[in-house]
A and B are shown apart, each in its own frame.
Chain A
Amino acid sequence: MVEFSGEIGSFKAKVHRKARYVDASKCTACGACAEKCPTKVPNEFNFGLNDRKAIYKDYAQGIPSVYTIDPNHCRVFQGKKCGVCAKQCQAGAIDYEQKDSYVDLEVAAVIVATGYDLFDATRIPEYGYGRFPNVISSLEMERLLSAGGPTAGHLARPSVVKGEARLKELPKLIAKAEKDEKTDAASALNKERKWLEEHVHKYPTAKKLGFIQCVGSRDFRFHKYCSNYCCMHSIKEAIIARDHEPETESYIFYMDLRTVGKGFEEYKIRGAKVSGLKYVRGRVAEVLQDEELNPVVYFEDTEQRCVRSMTLDMVILANACSASKGIVTVAELLGIALDENNFVKTHPNKPLDTSVPGIFTCGCAQGPLDIPESVAQASSAAARAAEVVMTGGRALAV
């Protein structure tokens, strides 16, 4: 949205629609274009754990089911000769000339459902995220566990996934260094190659997992609030990991295990009984790494009253739910108030209403929520909007 004006019952909005360079009405999402596209790009949807093509779709079930060209990487847009996708596409859907468009909307009500951003765990250097390959975020874990993800659901350690990719490119780099007679560089690369060859396949599957809760949440340095869904998210990931690999052992390091939803407490208990999850009450102070790239966590075991360490195959951080970065601009455009955390401000008695009549909000835009509550709120916001639409825009309280 680039422009916004008006009042309840008669808002005007201008929406900027980016070109996708594929005619959505013709594309059948058959994928022949992506199969033959010569340009590989790190796949952001899988957090760079594999590659996608310059013409792509985030995932198979995405809606609308239409491919998109990434103009920052597509050879045609880089002024190079290509056009492979246009040749492959028998439906004639490729349109390199497509332009951005602007859509003018006249609406009675608006719903802000902009969601959240994952807390950036590099802001907590003591956990080693970004430095240690086998310390990952909760959403990276989600991709590793997904049958449609970069490892087809196999819980491969990121050090292995990345190490294998590096091993593939090393011979070329070594040959180039040798050709340029850079002996130091070549010997360093050779050393790296030897180390990788010896180590990469030593622990291919992550079997001993540590989940660190409240990463950025309930932390005075970052977010004071509780992110609501992370306890259940970690328990779910640990249970699924065990389903994929029966030898998996999971430890969940927590302050309070917040299992407040319907069936959640029961699920937590099942996790311990059936899937062998171990819940450790205590906050992790630091994560280090041993020479085999195993993360080592140091924590206070408050129930045993001692400081302990544990060597794990992989550490999964329960990243906090941060307000989305774009919300400030959206809020300014709409004129709605945000709270101190940059979530859309609401009153407990009027949970869907923003500070502007006719503009409603739902989901993580207004604060961290789990799926059932988000889905319920989405219907609620629709009800509020429907009240406005169906009564010709009269402002009505809850």
Chain B
Amino acid sequence: MSNDRFEPTIVGFLCNWCAYAGADLAGVSRLQYPPNLRTIRTLCSATVRPDMILKAFQRGADGVFVGG
């Protein structure tokens, strides 16, 4: 990978019961995706307050993923 290529950082909020399980299943199935994601497990996507998303952008996230 060349160094000057833009590498975004994405924060993912994943619901334990679906999206987090889906991310686990991607692993079990060895589906490959870029390592730019940082996942945060929540017990429901409803836990994610709007200001958490804003906080992530404020701290420099290039994208926020909410899966639920």
Spell out A's residues near B (CB within 8 Å). Answer: 29, 31, 60-61, 148
Minimal Cβ-Cβ distance residue in B for A60: B28
Considering residues A31, A60, A61, A148, which has the most beta carbons from chain B within 10 angstroms of its beta carbon? A60
Min CB gap A152→B, angstroms = 8
A–B pairs, 9, beta carbons within 8 Å:
A29-B28, A31-B28, A31-B30, A60-B25, A60-B28, A60-B29, A61-B25, A148-B25, A148-B29
With a CB–CB cut-off of 8 A, which chain A residues contact B28? 29, 31, 60
Minimal Cβ-Cβ distance residue in B for A29: B28
A60 to B24, CA, bound (A): 10
Min CB gap B18→A, angstroms = 13
With a CB–CB cut-off of 8 A, which chain B residues contact A31? 28, 30
Min CB gap B20→A, angstroms = 14
With a CB–CB cut-off of 8 A, which chain A residues contact B30? 31
Min CB gap B57→A, angstroms = 30
With a CB–CB cut-off of 8 A, which chain B residues contact A60? 25, 28-29
1/0 per residue, CB under 8 A from A, across B10-40: the answer is 0000000000000001001110000000000
Min CB gap A315→B, angstroms = 29
A29 to B28, CA, bound (A): 9
With a CB–CB cut-off of 8 A, which chain A residues contact B29? 60, 148
Minimal Cβ-Cβ distance residue in A for B21: A61
A29 to B29, CA, bound (A): 12
A320 to B3, CA, bound (A): 59
Minimal Cβ-Cβ distance residue in A for B31: A152
A93 to B25, CA, bound (A): 22
A29 to B25, CA, bound (A): 12
Min CB gap B32→A, angstroms = 13
A257 to B25, CA, bound (A): 36
A254 to B38, CA, bound (A): 49
- Name 6 extra pairs, CB < 8 A, besides A60-B25, A60-B29, A148-B25: A29-B28, A31-B28, A31-B30, A60-B28, A61-B25, A148-B29
A28 to B28, CA, bound (A): 12
With a CB–CB cut-off of 8 A, which chain B residues contact A61? 25
Minimal Cβ-Cβ distance residue in A for B29: A60
Considering residues B25, B28, B29, which has the most beta carbons from chain A within 10 angstroms of its beta carbon? B28
A31 to B31, CA, bound (A): 13
Minimal Cβ-Cβ distance residue in A for B27: A60
A132 to B29, CA, bound (A): 31
Min CB gap A27→B, angstroms = 14
Q: Which 6 A-B pairs rank lowest in CB-CB distance, beginning with the nearest?
A: A60-B28, A60-B29, A60-B25, A148-B29, A61-B25, A31-B28
A331 to B17, CA, bound (A): 39
Minimal Cβ-Cβ distance residue in B for A148: B29
A60 to B28, CA, bound (A): 7
A347 to B29, CA, bound (A): 45
Min CB gap A390→B, angstroms = 33
A29 to B27, CA, bound (A): 12
With a CB–CB cut-off of 8 A, which chain A residues contact B25? 60-61, 148
With a CB–CB cut-off of 8 A, which chain B residues contact A29? 28
A284 to B30, CA, bound (A): 42
A31 to B28, CA, bound (A): 8
Minimal Cβ-Cβ distance residue in A for B28: A60
With a CB–CB cut-off of 8 A, which chain B residues contact A148? 25, 29
A61 to B30, CA, bound (A): 14
